[in-house]
Structure 1
Amino acid sequence: MAHGGDAAAPLLASSAKPPGGDEPRRNMYAFGCATLASMTTVLMGYNLALMSGAQLFIREDIGLTDAQIEVLAGSMNVYMLVSILAAGWAADLLGRRGTLVLANAFLMAGALAMSLGASYAALMAERFVTSIGVGFSLVVAPVYNAEISPASARGVLSSLLDMFVNIGILLSYVSNYALAGLPVHVGWRVMYGIGVLPPVFLAAGVLAMPESPRWLAMRGRYADARAVLVRTSDTVAEAELRLEEIKQAVEAPQEEAGVGVWQELLLRPSAMVRRIVTCVVGLPFFQQASGIDAIVLYSPLVFKKAGMASNSAVLGATVAVGLVKTCFILVATLFSDRLGRRPLLLASTGGVAVTLTSLALTLCTTPPSAASAAACVASVMAFVAAFSVGLGPMTGTYAAEIMPLRLRAQGTSLGMAVNRLTCGVVSMTFISLADGITMPGCFFLYAGVAAAACVFVYVRLPETRGRSLEDMDVLFAK
């Protein structure tokens, strides 16, 4: 729980003061806060993607079937729905910062339990513990980043979230590759055991952050909110303006007495809220329905289908894919506040549709050969590059910044719940679907979804670059 001393948190304090009155500055304090919040998602990426390589050893060690591996790989996304739907309530009750500390506690416990698992039932239970922490961090970190960031840098700071998720994915691939030589019953346990200590240090770092100024204002602590805004705004004048807009937003629900948050979101939404909810639900759905987790979790199976034989070659290729995926997020990070969210999303969804079609065509080659395997790897790299320049990082950024303050935590939970449910369906059906319509058929299907996503972005999503969070109501009321 946040207290009155939040605004005086020591993190990066030397960069908190404007160097010259109201002169714009590069806000390293806001950058440091957003970085620490985003780092809580490293273990989300690590735990989700680790299964892609660990399954090769878990299958042999414990004797799991294809169906059990499929459920185990995707179960976390379904389990997450519990904490995702509770995260909005927790973030409003405990504060954004307190909820992130709680998330790290669950992540540490889940990693420890997973490394000690000895049966399918135990592993499923341990995935549930991890999923609680992942769900909290997935919802609250983007909300915190959006609320702490000045409008001029919100795209960059919000996209840090996806960058750290992908750093976690890359680390999992490296772990798969580096530890593959250990005995079967030891290697995968060490892979998961590595994830025990980082949450401890991350929780300590999160405690050094200030609480969200918008959460402080919701509690009537305007002096603390102003102190945080002065540190995280480009100028003192901007901080005063942001505080005034937040005050107006906080007082707005008084005019709608009797209408609860979930009622306003789902049962009795205004035309403006309905348009926002369509975007908050639609974009996360398309992000996952385009098949990204089929690649993240099952790329070893895809590469083997294309003609790769050895586990070392397959795991080496997944490391290269993870590296490409992480590097291309930097493109979104650098250009989201220059080009805007909409151009990046349009380019990304169009690119995903084309590269998935290319991937499907490479898998149609019979018989598989070294050339088809190389083409498959190249297509997968092109796919993750296209996904990472827009649809990956911009989805969370866009959803968090367009929700009104009174609905932000629960609205973000709703979008993330749809996202994880869709992800769970994709990850828990890929092997079965490939058996039914073939693996190329799966990727042709995902390509069609990506094409529909491109149309959705073009028709439904206005540009939000440079607008304050409190100004989104005006944008969506048009």
Structure 2
Amino acid sequence: MFLAPESPWWLVRQGRIEEAERSVNRLMSKQGQEAAFDSQKAVAAMIHTNEMEKHITVGTSYVDCFKGIELRRTEICCMVWMIQILCGGGIMAFSSYFFERAGLNTAYSFDLTMAQYGLGAVGVFIAWALIPWVGRRTLFLVGQVLMMVLLLIIGFIGVGHKSQASSWAVGALLLVYVFVYDITVGPLTYSFVSEISSTRLRQKTMVLARNAYLVANIVNNVLTPHMLNPTSWNWGPKTGLFWAGVCFLTIVWAYYRLPEPKGRTCAELDDLFERKIPARQFASTVANPFDNGRRHGSVEAGSRRQE
């Protein structure tokens, strides 16, 4: 925390403009520096946007998140966060027990759990490099498909005869699953919920989305122990088949409902949502946020947000 730079947006809201400019320069990528990025203009846009937010957030309520085009944005944010669990990610919370139920002893289960966390960290670092280059939607969908395939393989191994080799195969596949999750769905969720929600309802939308995630997590924490416990449903690795089926449903939803926000300003996203552009056409549609003679709730910053 001591090494983390202050957010320029937070500094602007505190009236510390010079510090905000220094923070922008510190956070700027090499590409931005080479393009002669003007930090003063960026901070000026932040000041302007902050003043507008003060006006447009007055009088808003949670009910507004379910009205008109805001309902679609709320749905996307809630579903994306829930998919962290619905894609089978909840198994990771019970990974040690899952490894034991797959046939590995306690020591090996512990070792694989530690390896899981290490691979997860590496996956997040790789995601940092991939997200600016690969579309959020594309990376999210690819991750879902790969995770579904891995869950299917784990489940089918569980159907067969249990052996030491099959136990290690299940353990290795779950590690690969965690690695894929932390490159794709895991970190991308936070990008989506912050970009898709509208400026004037962002705080309320994120509260609703996080609560949706917690509800999904409660369901997972009730169901998964029953699936794994030998005195209950006793599914063991076959649990992967159940979550693969749920993951498939989330893939269908994401294909038709999840838009591509990469490289879009807040104003451009407002325009695309107001024009009710289908999710699959977001990336190819030209946004014209000022063509209709009025400004949207989120103001064009003059330059595209950092990818």
Normalised by the length of structure 2, the TM-score is 0.76
Match of 2:286 in 1: none
Question: Equivalent residue of 1:463, what SS?
Answer: coil
Query: Corresponding residue for 2:35?
Result: none
Deviation at 1:242, TM superposition (A): 3.3
Q: How many residues align structurally? A: 259
Of 427-436 and 376-385, deviating more is: 427-436
Q: 1:377 to 1:322 in 2, by over 3 A?
A: same
Amino acid of the structure 1 residue aligned with 2:64: E
Partner residue in 2 for 1:307: 103
Of residues 259, 266, 269, the one that matches 1:462 is: 259
Distance 1:243 1:342 in 2: 30
Q: Which amino acid aligns with 1:245?
A: T
Alignment of 1:33-432 (within 5 A): 33=5, 148=7, 211=10, 213=12, 216=13, 223-224=15-16, 227-228=19-20, 231-232=23-24, 234=28, 235-236=38-39, 237-253=41-57, 259-266=59-66, 269-270=67-68, 272-295=69-92, 297-309=93-105, 311-366=106-161, 368-432=162-226
CA distance in 2, matches of 1:230, 1:284: 33
Q: Do the aligned residues in 2 keep the contact of 1:249 with 1:470 (CA within 8 Å)? A: no
Amino acid at match of 1:284: W
Letter in 2 for 1:302: F
Q: Which amino acid aligns with 2:98?
A: V
- CA shift for structure 1 position 227: 4.7
Question: What is the letter of the counterpart of residue 148 of structure 2?
Answer: A
**Relative to 1, partners in 2 of residues 1:470 and 1:251: Cα closer, same or farther, differing over 3 Å?**
farther
Identity percentage of aligned residues: 19
Unaligned ranges ≥5, structure 2: 29-37, 276-307
In 1, Cα distance between equivalents of 2:22 and 2:65: 32
After superposing the two structures, state which structure 1 stretch, 466-475 or 407-416, moved more: 466-475
Specify which structure has the higher proportion of helix. Answer: 1
- Evaluate the alpha carbon distance shift between residue 284 and residue 456 of structure 1 in structure 2; reply closer, same or farther with a 3 A threshold: same
Matched letter for residue 283 of structure 1: V
Contact map agreement 2:154 2:170 (CA 8 A) in 1: yes
* Separation in structure 1 between the aligned mates of residue 84 and residue 267 of structure 2, nearest angstrom: 26
Cα 1:333–1:352 change in 2 (3 A) is same
- Which amino acid is 2:198 matched to? P
AA of the residue aligned to 2:153:
S
Q: Which residue identity is paired with 2:5?
A: C
TM-score (norm 1): 0.50
Deviation of 1:212 after TM superposition, in Å, equals: 5.6
Q: 1:340 Cα shift? A: 2.5
